A and B are shown apart, each in its own frame.
Chain A
Amino acid sequence: MIRIPGLGIVGGMALTLRRFFEPKATIKYPEVKPDIPHKFRGRLQLLYDEYGALKCETCFQCAQACPIECIDMGGIDTKGRFHVHWGAPETYGERREESALRRSGRTVPDPAYAHFEGIDPDPVDGILEEYDFDPKQMLPILEATQAAYGHLPVAALKRISHATGAWYAMIYGTASYYSHLRFERPDDSTQAAAVADHRPTEATFLSGLDAALAGGRRAGAGSAPGAKPN
């Protein structure tokens, strides 16, 4: 096919001329309203209630459901963990260097980022080998990782996500749900106390039941009002 100069231009202009006569794609709002699917949510935006508090309860549904993993949770979730993660999971740890932290107004170093320091990958790699990189065995993998490191470091979770192919959001969602898995270090008493404050254990319930049946007041926890959602 010999290339005749100018033929491309002619072809392009023929196309635009054809388009000139085609029906237009514009929807003339507000005379014509577009056909919005029934479950359309519009812009992802956190809403506030009439008291000015955020309605988001960090229940993790959206992060688990998002097919492109662009949502991550921040703040205190319903299980009382405090992880101040912002933005898409792959943006922190890899791209958030100190200058970005400073630019964003955070102090450097930010204590939350202590979670992202490196770990020795051998234990978690060994665990993954043992469970054959099977994401269906996520709970045993996480329990073994916690046994190896004393807690679940974020770097380990990312490693597991890379190796098994399970989404980081799913793994984080699983790990933050079960009370025997912990993100805080064993020696981090502040975080551990905060978690314990928000999430009483079964032992608390049992002792509370004993006390209630015996008619005595539960030590300390009796007059505390129910934990407020964030």
Chain B
Amino acid sequence: MTAVARSWSRLTLAGKVIFTLLPILAVLTIGLVAVIVLFGGGILDFLATNLWLVRFVVAATAVLLMSVPTAFLIIYMEMKVIALMNLRIGPDRVGPFGSLLSVVHGLKVLMKEDFSPTGVDRIVFTLAPIVVFMSTVMALLVIPFAPGLFGQDFNIGLLYFFAIGGMTVVGLLMAGWSSFNKYSLLGGLRSAAQVISYEIPLTLSVVGLLLLAGTMSLNQLAENQKGWFTDWYVFKQPLGALIFFIAATAEANRTPFDLTEADSEIVAGFATEYSGMRFGFFFFAEYVNVFVISALIVTLFFGGWNAPFPWPWQVTLNLDPGSLGIGLLILVAIVPVIGTLLLAAPFWLANSRIKGWQALIIGFILFNLVAVTAIFGIAYVGLDWVAGLLWFLGKTYAFVFTFVWMRGTLPRVRIDQLMGFAWKWLLPASLLNLFVTAAAIAIVHPQ
């Protein structure tokens, strides 16, 4: 054996990986640097003329990056909120108040053995989680988070959303079918049946809204609800909102419609044969889906990124820090120091037990709080997207809390009750809503 071969055989697996990857990475980095140096200018020019491309890439990256932490957050919320409702404490030890637990769950899912059982259809088996996850994440593209803060503003945004939602069904069926397991197949079929049954009331319930608003663009719908909260569409289409809410719960496989994935049912339904990161995809997809439907409900019926009441007075903050010139630099240097000292002084003077350095630390923390609040206030008032984002996220998470709340309260419905409810109650109700809205429009605003 040559010396190289001998040293190679002595390495651990991690060592082998590193020794293979490092040279490859080095080459790639050099290649990349070379490309940038050689073609950098050309690339930049190209991008400047095709800003939509930049925008697209940024949006897609942002959405992808944002989805996983959102999933983590919602998973943590679910565990904690349901525990608190059950008079338990929930995650407590990992991180402050157990907040790092979902991160740990994510790591765990990554570390699990990633196998595919014998007899599965390899390609379909591998693609199914991707399809499900991607269809959920793609829906995030059209949601307007704040004025000007959205992925794409299709003028058929709502239709796009429902179309993408239909792709989830494909993913579910792929998963159930390729698992080579009758119970997975049954679970997948049930799941698919549930989703497509509830898609009809889902889409029909917003048609009334579309009639009223006249546009399918989600951004436009959000803007239409500007003003007081009474302008929100929930007051104009209460039945539609209710049906949408129920149907959306079923679409997302949430309690009380979660029998396809409940443990006491057919194990994990279509996802029985999946483990490791493949299962992680399904898992995260579900929670991102919860976020998406909450966001959608907020956008469609509850005002989107609008505050419930408009600011009664006009506040314009024409701050132009740049005009201070060098003064800005001096300000940035002096203000924290003065602020700390000012805020520390009362503590140090009033209480003799607090030493100087302790007072300074307290002062510093307080100054940070004050400064952050001030900056935040300025941003809120000055930049409209901050306010919008805040309201949007607040309302969305309120709905996420409601979904979690329902999970902690309600029992599951049976499959036959589920299907019966969709076809016998929601569908006629949404049709009724549609007819009444149409009739009202015809009578009140014939045009």
Contacts and interface: CB of A to CB of B under 8 A. Distances in A.
B89 A26 contact: yes
Nearest to B84: A20
Interface residues of A, number: 13
Interface of A: 9, 12-13, 15-17, 19-20, 22, 24-26, 28
Contacts of A16: 85, 405, 408-409
- Most B CB contacts (10 A, CB to CB) among A16, A22, A26 go to A16
Contacts of A20: 81, 84-85, 405
Contacts of B85: 16-17, 19-20
B410 A12 contact: yes
A24 B410 contact: no
Contact of A28 (B84, B87, B89, B410): B89
B86 interface: yes
Interface in B382-418: 405-406, 408-410
A9 B411 CA distance: 10
Nearest to A11: B409
Given A9-B410, A12-B410, A17 B88 contact: no
B89 A13 contact: no
> Chain B interface: which size bin?
10 to 19
Q: Is chain A's binding surface mostly helix, strand, loop or mixed?
A: helix
B92 A15 contact: no
A47 B410 CA distance: 45
Given A9-B410, A24-B84, A17 B89 contact: no
A25 B90 CA distance: 11
A24 B92 contact: no
- Most A CB contacts (10 A, CB to CB) among B86, B87, B89, B409 go to B409
Q: Which A-B residue pairs are the 8 nearest by beta carbons? A: A16-B85, A16-B409, A26-B89, A25-B87, A12-B409, A13-B409, A20-B85, A19-B85
Contact of A17 (B87, B92, B405, B410): B405
- Most B CB contacts (10 A, CB to CB) among A9, A20, A28 go to A20
A24 B81 CA distance: 12
Given A17-B85, A24-B89, 17 more contacts: A9-B409, A9-B410, A13-B405, A13-B406, A13-B409, A13-B410, A17-B405, A19-B84, A19-B86, A20-B81, A20-B84, A22-B87, A24-B84, A25-B87, A25-B88, A26-B89, A28-B89
A162 B85 CA distance: 47
Contacts of A17: 85, 405
Nearest to B87: A25
Interface string B86-104: 1111001000000000000
Contacts of B406: 13
Contacts of A13: 405-406, 409-410
A16 B409 CA distance: 6
5 contacts: A12-B410, A16-B408, A19-B84, A24-B88, A26-B89
A16 B401 CA distance: 12
Contacts of B81: 20
A96 B253 CA distance: 46
B409 A26 contact: no
Contacts of B88: 24-26
A127 B85 CA distance: 60
A9 B88 CA distance: 22
B306 to A, nearest CB: 26
A24 B92 CA distance: 13
